[in-house]
């Protein structure tokens, strides 16, 4: 069974199709680790009713984490978090006008009471949000724990095996 043919445990959502270039890095990591996930475009300001429905049904559909990427005035992660108890991991997408500083500050500066875990701007943030979601699931999913451990070991071996930058 592939990760995409079982009920999703992680939702990847983004404010626009234009965010996919960034958010595909989260999907790739979850795919590699065998974490069942879904991908949706849900816009806080263009499709607010879809956002409310997505967030309010997330827990009952079995989602254990939502990775939310948005750029500019990036209110998607905070609005999702306001409507669900499922942990929201925010990814600031690199915007054209302000290089993602706007996205980062919009996501990270949540007032006390509704937390959003915030990751780095861009591709690294998307990949790390997926690794973080997998680490959350790994506590009670031995296959995800094993995949994560293997990924980290491979990464360590790759660096240790190529430690002379001239080669
Ligand atoms: C945000 O506005 C999206 O998350 C995206 O990063 C940004 C630009 O959206 P598009 O104009 O490319 O659809 O809502």
pTM reported for the whole predicted model: 0.96
Please list the alpha-helical segments (H only) found in the chain.
Answer: 20-32, 48-58, 76-82, 101-108, 123-138, 142-161
Q: What CATH architecture is 3-160? A: 3-Layer(aba) Sandwich (3.40)
Q: b/e map of 95-126 (b: 16 or more CB within 10 Å)?
A: beeeebebbbebbbebeeeeebbbbebbbebb
Segment 56-68 shows an average pLDDT of: 98
Q: What's the gap in Å between 53 CA and the centre of ligand 1?
A: 20
Q: Whose CA is nearest to atom 12 of ligand 1?
A: 18
Distance CA 165, CA 153 (A): 20
Question: Which atom of ligand 1 approaches the CA of 71 most closely?
Answer: 6
Give residue-wise pLDDT tens across range 18-61: 999 999 999 999 999 999 999 999 999 999 999 999 999 999 99
pLDDT band at 5 (very low <50, low <70, confident <90, very high): confident
ipTM (interface pTM): 0.96
CA–centroid distance, 74 to ligand 1, in Å, is 9
At residue 4, the pLDDT reads 54
Question: Best of 26, 70, 98 to mutate for ligand 1, by most ligand atoms within 8 A of CB?
Answer: 70
Task: Give the pLDDT band of residue 3 (cuts 50, 70, 90).
Answer: low
* Token pair belonging to 72: 């500019």
């Amino acid at each position: 069974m592939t990760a995409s043919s079982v009920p999703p445990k992680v939702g990847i959502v983004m404010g626009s199709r234009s965010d996919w270039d960034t958010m595909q890095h989260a999907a790739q990591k979850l795919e590699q680790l065998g974490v069942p996930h879904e991908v949706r475009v849900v816009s806080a300001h263009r499709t607010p009713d879809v956002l409310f429905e997505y967030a309010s049904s997330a827990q009952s559909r079995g989602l254990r984490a939502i990775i939310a990427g948005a750029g500019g005035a990036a209110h998607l992660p905070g609005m999702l978090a306001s409507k669900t108890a499922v942990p929201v991991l925010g990814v600031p997408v690199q915007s054209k006008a302000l290089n993602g500083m706007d996205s980062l500050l919009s996501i990270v500066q949540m007032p006390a009471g509704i937390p959003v875990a915030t990751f780095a701007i861009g591709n690294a943030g998307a990949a790390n949000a997926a690794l973080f979601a997998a680490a959350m699931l790994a506590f009670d999913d031995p296959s995800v724990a094993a995949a994560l451990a293997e990924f980290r070991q491979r990464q360590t071996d790759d660096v240790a095996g190529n430690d002379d930058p001239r080669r």
